[in-house]
Amino acid sequence: MVSDHEACTGCGVCALSCPVGFITMKESSEGFFYPEVDKGKCVGCGLCEEKCHLNHKVRFEEGKAYAVISRNKDELRSSSSGGVFSVLARKILDSGGIVVGCELQNGTYPRHVLIREAADLCRLRGSKYVESDLLPVLQELAEEIRSGRKILLSGTGCQIGAVKKLFGENDSITYVEILCHGVPSRSLFQSHNEFIEQKYDDKLTDIRFRCKENASWNTSYRFAYTFQSGRTATVPAYKDAYYMNFIKGNIMRPSCYRCAYAGNRRIGDITLGDYWGVENHHPELDANKGVSAVMVNSPAGERFFNECSEELTVIPTKIQYIQERVHALKAPIPRPSERDGIYARIEKIGYAAWNRQYSHSRLRRAEGVKAVMKTLLPDKLRVKAARVYHGKSGRD
């Protein structure tokens, strides 16, 4: 357990490690989970501190960087970036291994689960822009590790750090790290979902955060909802208070603003992200349906990545190129002043009122204009405009 409360990433490993079970994970008023110790009963064994990943950060040296696209067109379409995760995961499943990643349980609750069949891969596919509940799968994972089966474990840097610290270095696990600039709380996401259900007067059965149907990768920041009645709806990010405040970094877990895993030295054997701006460096690639930025950081990661390369289009690139537009590869996301008190304000006025305020805000108007320009501009002109804009600002 880390002594600095704000740095805690809420993995729950301290609670799991406590031999007397006197640490419980308690929800904060913002909906993030933190350990609470029953001090009167603590036996002072120190295991919770020893098992905390934040007390022992180990990272690889800067890895090799690639621009990568999956050759599987269907999977590429339903993935957030270049579809690399599905190719890596399928390789492990085909060899009798198991894969751990984030699904939306019942279409709305983000949690890590373990899958054994390629047919279940669709449950993990796609980014869920919310904190995933990691703790429940860890117990199950311990048994699988004992069985010696091959395991692919995917998650954000802090989740990989937590699992590595819990189980120690283990040759049977390949760690696939998902680049991340931060996560909002599950309870805020739940409020968002309840608001959507009320608005559509229907129960949500599935939510996708990145929808490439009738859109290019560049305009894929859109919610795609499926409801119990069978009805579907897509909503661009700029029209949604939750989505846009996530992109802007206004609603992240406090520890995300000081993420211990940001930077060019990574913790996963392989790191996956979006290769924004790829057209500036590799115009030969068809970026329309998504390109992954892949960092291969360890010898084991390199061996495994090579085994999968037949199913991928792989172009060597430079990590500096990716860093131009992916802030997480440089530093933690800066904490904006908008973050202060935002959860308390939403709680006070209610989610619907917050959403209404957003829909009349300058941010909404500005993002709306940007999004329309992106959709209307022909590809070549859009790339040129992006080059000018990002060349000047250097932002993601």
Ligand X SMILES: Cc1cc2nc3c(=O)[nH]c(=O)nc-3n(C[C@H](O)[C@H](O)[C@H](O)COP(=O)(O)OP(=O)(O)OC[C@H]3O[C@@H](n4cnc5c(N)ncnc54)[C@H](O)[C@@H]3O)c2cc1C
Which residue ranges make up the site for ligand X (CB under 6 A)? 79-86, 101-102, 110, 124-130, 132, 154-156, 178-181, 183, 272-274, 292-293, 326, 328
Residue listed under structure tokens 């390629």: 118
**18 or 32: whose CB is closer to ligand X?**
32
Gap between the Cα atoms of 298 and 63, Å rounded? 7
Shortest Å, Cβ 80 to ligand X? 3
In sequence order, which residues have a C-beta less than 8 Å from that of residue 315 and are 6 or more positions away? 66, 67, 68, 282, 284, 285
Shortest Å, Cβ 110 to ligand X? 5
Gap between the Cα atoms of 307 and 104, Å rounded? 29
**151 or 272: whose CB is closer to ligand X?**
272
* Residue 43: other Cβ atoms inside 10 A: 10
Closest-CB residue for ligand X?
Answer: 101
Shortest Å, Cβ 24 to ligand X? 22
Shortest Å, Cβ 178 to ligand X? 5
**141 or 178: whose CB is closer to ligand X?**
178
Shortest Å, Cβ 45 to ligand X? 30
158 near 11, Cβ under 8 Å? yes
CA 254 to chain centre: 16
Residue 345 has phi, psi (to 5 degrees) of -65, -45
Shortest Å, Cβ 49 to ligand X? 25
Shortest Å, Cβ 386 to ligand X? 15
**76 or 346: whose CB is closer to ligand X?**
76
**35 or 101: whose CB is closer to ligand X?**
101
Gap between the Cα atoms of 77 and 220, Å rounded? 10
Shortest Å, Cβ 122 to ligand X? 9
**35 or 249: whose CB is closer to ligand X?**
249
Shortest Å, Cβ 113 to ligand X? 9
**48 or 175: whose CB is closer to ligand X?**
175
**18 or 218: whose CB is closer to ligand X?**
218
**48 or 157: whose CB is closer to ligand X?**
157
Shortest Å, Cβ 109 to ligand X? 11
**14 or 100: whose CB is closer to ligand X?**
100
Helices 351-359 and 186-200: crossing angle, nearest 10°?
A: 80
